[in-house]
């Protein structure tokens, strides 16, 4: 091995490279010179075994030759890529692409739609009333006069707007019952209303949020009584939860219904046996009752001719009591954590 041979190697390589006209051939060229047994690789190994002086001289010459060849290879590559686009790696038209991730409806929107679908065949129509309303519709017209202690149960947010002479202060609706008298005042009888809306109360813990949803049913017609109420609630519960979930009505006190009830449903976990989730076998859904004659009168309806029933339940709580959901903290529903939401 001497300087001449090194020089010859360079000439040979550059001549070869001149003939390269595709990226495939360029790769073959690289292997021929720089592969494991490539010409340059072999010479490099030979030089290592020489005496110190020779090694130094030849080593330097070979390094120069290497960088010349590599530089030329680089320019060749650029030139090929630019001038012959078909030499670029093939584009596989039939290869499936990466699909963008598609979200889905929020679990509470799904629940609302399911509730609407269940009530629809019974003739209930979904309506919407203001989420910010006057105290009049929230309390007064529901037979809860100003200063009545029952108002405290609805931990109300007041809006800083001056008081209306007739309708009082402005509030964030703490329940959907405010839609009852508004619906009656429309003057269309009979009524089969499903009012679903966002509500607000000053509360926050594992079972309560300051913002939540309620659905409110109201039926007003001639000859309506408790058995209609019980039938409708039973129908809803069986359809929403399944045939094994019974309901029971517990006497309660709401000012806008008489008689009033709390509606309980058999526990999703123990079906009545009693467990750590429900304690004594039942879970509380929400209120219901026979519309108070005074409320009908506020709505301009003759209470001697017409009667009605109503119920109002939280959407989140109702949904959480479905078997298998295992949501133990209502706050998960609105924490916007995709890891939680994508499970529903």
| Residue ranges binding ligand DAH (CB under 6 A) | 175, 177, 216, 254, 257, 260, 286-289, 310-312
Q: Which residue is nearest to ligand DAH (CB)?
A: 287
What 210-215 contacts at long range (C-beta under 8 Å, 24+ apart), as own/partner pairs, is 210/157, 211/334, 212/314, 212/315, 212/316, 212/330, 213/108, 213/112, 213/314, 213/315, 213/316, 214/175, 214/176, 214/312, 214/313, 214/314, 214/315, 215/112, 215/115, 215/176, 215/312, 215/313, 215/315, 215/318
Nearer to ligand DAH, 169 or 201 (CB): 201
Nearer to ligand DAH, 5 or 284 (CB): 284
Under 8 Å between Cβ of 309 and 221: no
CB of 122 to ligand DAH, least distance (A): 16
Nearer to ligand DAH, 44 or 303 (CB): 303
CB of 175 to ligand DAH, least distance (A): 3
Q: What does the alpha-carbon distance between residue 344 and residue 128 come to, in Å, rounded to a whole number?
A: 26
Nearer to ligand DAH, 310 or 320 (CB): 310
Cα dist from 229 to 46, 226, 319, whole Å? 99, 5, 21
Computed on alpha carbons and rounded to an integer, the radius of gyration of the chain in Å comes to 40
User: Burial level of 300, CB count in 10 A (0-12/13-18/19+)?
Assistant: exposed
CB of 133 to ligand DAH, least distance (A): 13
Nearer to ligand DAH, 62 or 184 (CB): 184
Nearer to ligand DAH, 56 or 202 (CB): 202
């Amino acid at each position: 091995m001497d300087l001449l041979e090194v020089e010859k190697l360079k000439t040979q390589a550059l001549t070869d490279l001149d003939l390269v006209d595709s990226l495939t051939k360029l790769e073959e060229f690289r292997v021929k010179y720089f592969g494991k047994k490539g010409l340059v690789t072999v010479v490099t190994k030979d030089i290592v075994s020489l005496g110190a002086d020779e090694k130094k001289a030849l080593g330097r010459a070979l390094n120069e030759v290497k960088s010349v060849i590599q530089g030329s290879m680089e320019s060749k590559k650029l030139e090929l890529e630019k001038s012959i686009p078909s030499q670029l790696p093939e584009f596989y038209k039939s290869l499936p692409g990466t699909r963008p991730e598609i979200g889905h409806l929020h679990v509470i929107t799904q629940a609302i739609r399911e509730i609407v679908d269940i009530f629809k065949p019974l003739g209930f129509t979904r309506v919407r009333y203001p989420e910010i309303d006057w105290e009049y519709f929230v309390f007064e017209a529901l037979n809860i006069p100003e200063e009545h202690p029952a108002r405290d149960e609805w931990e109300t947010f007041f809006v800083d707007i001056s008081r209306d002479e007739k309708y009082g202060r402005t509030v964030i609706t703490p329940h959907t019952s405010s839609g009852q008298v508004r619906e009656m005042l429309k003057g269309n009888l009979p009524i089969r209303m499903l009012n679903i809306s966002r509500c607000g109360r000053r509360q926050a813990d594992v079972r309560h949020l300051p913002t939540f949803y309620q659905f409110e049913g109201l039926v007003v017609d001639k000859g309506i009584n408790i058995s209609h109420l019980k039938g409708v609630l039973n129908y809803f519960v069986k359809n929403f939860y399944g045939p094994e979930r019974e309901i029971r009505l517990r006497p309660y006190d709401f000012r806008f219904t008489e008689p009033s009830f709390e509606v309980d449903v058999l526990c999703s976990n123990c079906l009545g046996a009693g467990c750590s989730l429900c304690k004594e076998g039942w879970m509380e859904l929400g209120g219901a009752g026979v519309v108070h004659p005074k409320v009908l009168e506020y709505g301009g309806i003759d209470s001697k001719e017409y009667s009605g029933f109503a119920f109002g339940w939280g959407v989140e709580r109702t949904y959480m009591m479905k078997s298998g959901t295992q949501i133990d903290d209502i706050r998960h529903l609105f924490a916007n954590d995709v890891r939680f939401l994508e499970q529903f």
